Amino acid sequence: MSDTEKIKKTFAHLGGDTLERVLEIGILQTIPSGTQILREGQYVKVVPLVIEGLIKVYTKQEDKELLLYYIQPKESCIMSFSSSLTNDPSKVYAVTEMDTKALLLPATEMSQWIKQYPNFNMLFYDMFKLRYADLLDTINHIIFNKLDQRVLKHLQDKSEMHGEKIVAITHKQIANELGTAREVVSRIIKKLEKEGYVSQLQEGIKIL
């Protein structure tokens, strides 16, 4: 399947006119894993439509991070949308979790497209609803769930998104994404291993 066919299939819900405009003006780019594509304080120049891969969006305060949500195929970044509409600097960071193929749309076009193309406007609101639900879920986990439950859920979610039973991640990375200390995560992983939920391997953490 060609890149154009893949884009048309992935974003078929945008409809004919909108999709043709997206293909005409968008720039297809393959971004290596671990690439920071947006940082706090940066003005948004492009809005990504993810074709393949995974993007992690998080906030940062001093030396602590907190994962907000992931951008998966068929999705875009609501924070980039919002910043492009108001011409405000980004309030979040975004980094590719794996090699990612995305169609990059110029931020300067977003305001006009939302008015001109109803399906593109609907994409904006769909992303808003999805991210709002994600953030509520994150808040609920932080307030109501014990940290060991959050760590296990985090690993299970990563396993599902990557399509792998073994999650290649360090205790430090988990701590950063959940806004806690590495030592705390190490104790929790050891506890989860004893309880039979995970197994620590050289290549990562296996979900059992």
Which pLDDT score, from 0 to 100, does residue 56 have? 94
Q: Which among 111, 143, 175 is the end of a domain?
A: 143
Residue 83 is part of which domain span?
Answer: 3-143
In three-state secondary structure terms, 34 is: coil
Q: Which among 143, 172, 188 is the end of a domain?
A: 143
Residue 161 and residue 130 share a domain: no
Please identify which residue in the block is written with the tokens 């059992």.
208
Residue 60 and residue 157 share a domain: no
Q: Provide the number of structural domains found in the chain.
A: 2
Which pLDDT score, from 0 to 100, does residue 171 have? 95
Which pLDDT score, from 0 to 100, does residue 137 have? 85
Residue 81 and residue 70 share a domain: yes
CATH number at residue 64: 2.60.120.10
Residue 158 and residue 127 share a domain: no
Give the whole-angstrom CA distance, residue 192 versus residue 196. Answer: 6
Tens digit of pLDDT at every position of the chain (208 positions): 788 888 888 888 888 888 889 999 999 999 999 999 999 999 999 999 999 999 999 988 877 788 889 999 999 999 898 898 888 999 999 999 999 999 999 999 998 998 899 988 898 889 999 989 988 888 888 887 789 999 999 999 999 999 999 999 999 999 988 888 899 999 999 999 999 999 999 999 999 9
